[in-house]
């Protein structure tokens, strides 16, 4: 997880006189401001820069609310939103692992586990366990809510790549088939959204926005 | 609401062959990418730049999850999260209205109503009504959920101003009493959070991070 940073509140400590539990909660709330500085590979549709994890997480949360009807299984929308709100928090200390970077993926789990221990440990113990459980659920994809959250996490950059007429589809070594195989988990949550996703990938390949599949 | 922009998907239309309802939903999902470009006055704690509305909305949503226990009235966390996810969407076309800018506040309602009609109108009618109802509920503050959502909207920049050792507390014409009066709505939702908020404002004034109140 790289160098150990001081907490943001180490530079400007919260004042005396706060309730101890609330102080821990606010320390965490301030520390996660760092999510706004973690850059992803995806280009924004609305501006000429890359997206950060906080923007991405907000986008996924709104997508859950608007697209939940397309889940093949019934899902609890509020719970699914919680999963996407916290799903990238560990990147605050572990960094973003690009979807098409196999090398970084190799060390990803260990880096993210250490980051989770450190970051969630700032919270009161009951909430540290709650947030950790949300993150574990998202990662394990063993519930309909986690599968739908993961589908949003794969569909949103697909939309941004479409708008960028390629975006990270043009990463070294990536073909349209690579994209198809990395995005197929959308179909574990929603037949309709995966059909739409495939339409975008297929049409993108046809237009030369991704490298043609080797066939 | 200023000049009429084309939709983002006017520049790169979604492909043929999508289900009509899903096409409208994805058009909206892509259009709201613009929220990431709407800058607020608040400085980030984690980087030397101003915050944007998408980052802010994510931060509020996570705060709802973590701080809901401090609501004086029972609240539905999932519903409160929905309120904060959509509460700033109208600023995509209406722009941000700084908390301490009385002139902009004067025209704010008309600008935001027009923006809501245009933006939410991209959605299928049932969802346009649903999102509009969420926005109206947030604005009216007539439910415990809306009051708590509003409290987060006021508490979050207060934390960022604390971390900036002043931030927008140093805006022209603003004194510590201005800050107190603009933040007092936190107390409509949570005695505990307003007590903490006042502790930060009082200590900030004591340290000279805001102008002393006229007394
Ligand atoms: Ca706001």
pLDDT tens digits, B105-143:
888 889 999 999 999 999 999 999 999 999 999 999 999
Q: Are B57 and B51 in contact (CB under 8 A)?
A: no
Specify which residues B50 forms β-bridges with: B43
Binning pLDDT at 50, 70 and 90, where does residue A2 land?
A: very low
Q: Are B65 and B77 in contact (CB under 8 A)?
A: yes
For tokens 């969420």, the residue is B134
pLDDT tens figures, A121-162: 999 999 999 999 999 999 999 999 999 999 999 999 999 999
**How many angstroms separate the alpha carbon of residue A160 from the centre of ligand 1?**
25
HSE on the CB side for A112, CA within 13 Å? Answer: 19
For chain A, give the percent of residues with pLDDT over 90. 88
**Which has the closest alpha carbon to B85: B48, B54, B41, B110?**
B54
Q: Are B46 and A36 in contact (CB under 8 A)?
A: yes
- Distance (Å) from the alpha carbon of B46 to chain A's nearest alpha carbon: 5
How confident is the model over A42-66, as a mean pLDDT? 98
Return the structure tokens found at B139. 């604005």
* Cβ-defined contact of A58 to B58 (cutoff 8 Å): yes
**Which has the closest alpha carbon to A47: B12, B39, B36?**
B36
**Which has the closest alpha carbon to B29: B133, B124, B108, B136?**
B124
The more confident residue out of B202 and A3 is B202
Query: What pLDDT does residue A1 have?
Result: 43
pLDDT tens figures, A110-121: 999 999 999 999
In CATH, what class is A18-206? mainly alpha
Return the structure tokens found at A54. 């906080």
Q: Are A74 and A132 in contact (CB under 8 A)?
A: no
| pLDDT over threshold 90, residue A101 | no
| pLDDT over threshold 90, residue B197 | yes
The more confident residue out of A65 and B214 is A65
Chain B residues in contact with A194 by the CB 8 A cut-off are: none
Q: Are B94 and B115 in contact (CB under 8 A)?
A: yes
- Distance (Å) from the alpha carbon of B105 to chain A's nearest alpha carbon: 26
* Cβ-defined contact of A199 to B17 (cutoff 8 Å): yes
Q: Kindly report the backbone phi and psi dihedral angles of residue A175, in degrees, each rounded to the nearest multiple of 5, phi listed first.
A: -115, 175
Binning pLDDT at 50, 70 and 90, where does residue B1 land?
A: very low
| pLDDT over threshold 80, residue A215 | no
Q: How many CB pairs under 8 A join A and B?
A: 163
DSSP A50: E
How confident is the model over A93-102, as a mean pLDDT? 83
**How many angstroms separate the alpha carbon of residue B156 from the centre of ligand 1?**
9
Which residue on chain B is closest to A83 by alpha carbon? B62
Pick from B8, B17, B163: which is nearest to A12 by CB? B163
pLDDT tens figures, B24-82: 999 999 999 999 999 999 999 999 999 999 999 999 999 999 999 999 999 999 999 99
CA distances from A163 to A60, B50, B53 (A): 17, 26, 21
Binning pLDDT at 50, 70 and 90, where does residue B215 land?
A: low
Query: What pLDDT does residue A176 have?
Result: 95
Binning pLDDT at 50, 70 and 90, where does residue A213 land?
A: confident
Is CATH 1.10.3720.10 the right assignment for the domain spanning B17-206? no
Domain limits, chain A: 18-206
C-alpha to C-alpha distance for B176 and A140, rounded to whole angstroms: 48
Pick from A45, A76, A78: which is nearest to B30 by CB? A45
| pLDDT over threshold 60, residue B3 | no
How confident is the model over A173-201, as a mean pLDDT? 96
Which residue on chain B is closest to A127 by alpha carbon? B66
Query: How distant is the alpha carbon of residue B57 from its chain centre?
Result: 6
**Which helix H or strand E contains B43, and what residues bound it?**
strand B39-43
Return the structure tokens found at A5. 């940073």
């Amino acid at each position: 997880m790289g160098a150990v940073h001081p907490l943001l509140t180490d530079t400007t400590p919260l004042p005396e006189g706060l309730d101890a539990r609330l102080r821990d909660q606010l320390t965490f709330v301030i520390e996660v401001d760092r999510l706004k500085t973690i850059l992803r590979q995806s280009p924004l549709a609305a501006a000429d820069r890359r997206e950060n994890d906080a923007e991405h997480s907000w986008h996924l949360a709104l997508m859950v609310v608007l697209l939940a009807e397309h889940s093949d299984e019934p899902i609890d929308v509020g719970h699914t939103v919680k999963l996407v709100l916290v799903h990238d928090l560990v990147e605050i200390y572990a960094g973003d692992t690009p979807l098409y970077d196999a090398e970084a993926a190799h060390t990803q789990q260990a880096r993210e586990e250490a980051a989770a221990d450190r970051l969630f440990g700032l919270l009161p113990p009951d909430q540290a366990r709650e947030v950790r459980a949300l993150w574990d659920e998202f990662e394990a994809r063993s519930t309909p809510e986690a599968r739908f959250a993961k589908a949003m996490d794969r569909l949103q950059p697909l939309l941004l790549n479409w708008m960028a007429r390629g975006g990270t589809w043009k990463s070294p070594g990536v073909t349209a088939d690579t994209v198809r195989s990395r995005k197929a988990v959308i179909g574990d949550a929603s037949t309709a959204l995966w059909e739409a996703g495939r339409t975008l990938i297929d049409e993108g390949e046809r237009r030369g926005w991704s490298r043609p599949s080797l066939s």
